[in-house]
Amino acid sequence: MVAIALGVLIVSLDGTITAVANPVLALDLGASLSGLQWITNIYLLAMAATLVLSGKLGDRFGRRSVFLTGIVGFGITSAGIALSQSVGMVITSRLGQGLFGALIVTNALALLRALFPPESLPKALALFASLIGASSAAGPLIGGLLIEHTSWRWAFLINVPIAVVSLAVGLKVLPARNSTGGDSTPFDLAGTALLAAALLPITYGLIQAPEIGWTNWLVIGLLLAGIVSGVAFVFAERRAVDPLIPMRLFADRSISLGVLLTVISFFSLVGSLFFVLLFLQQINGDSPMAAGLHILPMSIANVVASSSCGWVIKNYGPRPPLFAGMVFSALGFALFTGVEPRTGYLALAIPFTVLGLGVGLVMTSSVQAILGNADVTDAGPAAGVHQTSLQIGGILGTAVLGAVMASAVGAKFGPAMDDNGIPSTISEELSGEAVRSVAQGATPLPTHVTPEILAALHNATETTFMHGMHTTMWVGAIISLLGAAISVGVRRGRVVEGSTTVH
Contact 457, 422 (CB under 8 A): yes
Instruction: Using a pLDDT cut of 70, give the percent of the chain over it.
Output: 89
- When the pLDDT of each residue in the chain is averaged and rounded to a whole number, the result is 84
295 burial level (CB within 10 Å; 0-12, 13-18, 19+): buried
Q: How confident is the model at residue 498 (pLDDT cuts 50, 70, 90)?
A: very low
Decide which of 123 and 484 is more confident: 484
Q: What is the mean pLDDT of residues 281-308?
A: 85
* 498: three-class secondary structure by DSSP: coil
pLDDT of residue 161: 92
Q: What is the mean pLDDT of residues 82-90?
A: 93
Decide which of 129 and 226 is more confident: 226
Q: How confident is the model at residue 367 (pLDDT cuts 50, 70, 90)?
A: confident
**Cβ-proximal residues to 109 (8 Å cutoff; 6+ apart), any chain:** 125, 128, 383, 500, 502
Amino acid symbol at 63: R
**pLDDT reading at 468 higher than 90:** yes
pLDDT of residue 338: 92
* 317: three-class secondary structure by DSSP: coil
pLDDT of residue 425: 81
Where is average pLDDT lowest: 9-18, 228-237, 404-413?
Answer: 9-18
- pLDDT, one tens digit per residue, over 144-165 is 888 888 888 998 998 999 999 9
**Cβ-proximal residues to 457 (8 Å cutoff; 6+ apart), any chain:** 417, 420, 422, 426, 443, 444, 445, 446, 449
Q: What is the mean pLDDT of residues 447-470?
A: 89
**pLDDT reading at 281 higher than 60:** yes
Q: How confident is the model at residue 58 (pLDDT cuts 50, 70, 90)?
A: confident
**pLDDT reading at 25 higher than 90:** no
Decide which of 490 and 349 is more confident: 349
Instruction: Using a pLDDT cut of 90, give the percent of the chain over it.
Output: 26
Decide which of 190 and 429 is more confident: 190
**pLDDT reading at 37 higher than 90:** no
**pLDDT reading at 336 higher than 90:** yes
**pLDDT reading at 182 higher than 70:** no
Q: What is the mean pLDDT of residues 282-305?
A: 85
Distances (CA, A) of 126 to 113, 169, 251, 305, 307: 13, 21, 31, 14, 9
What span, in angstroms and rounded, lies between the C-alpha atoms of 492 and 130? 25
* 241: three-class secondary structure by DSSP: coil
Going 166 to 171 to 173 to 178, the CA torsion angle's sign is positive
pTM over 0.95: no
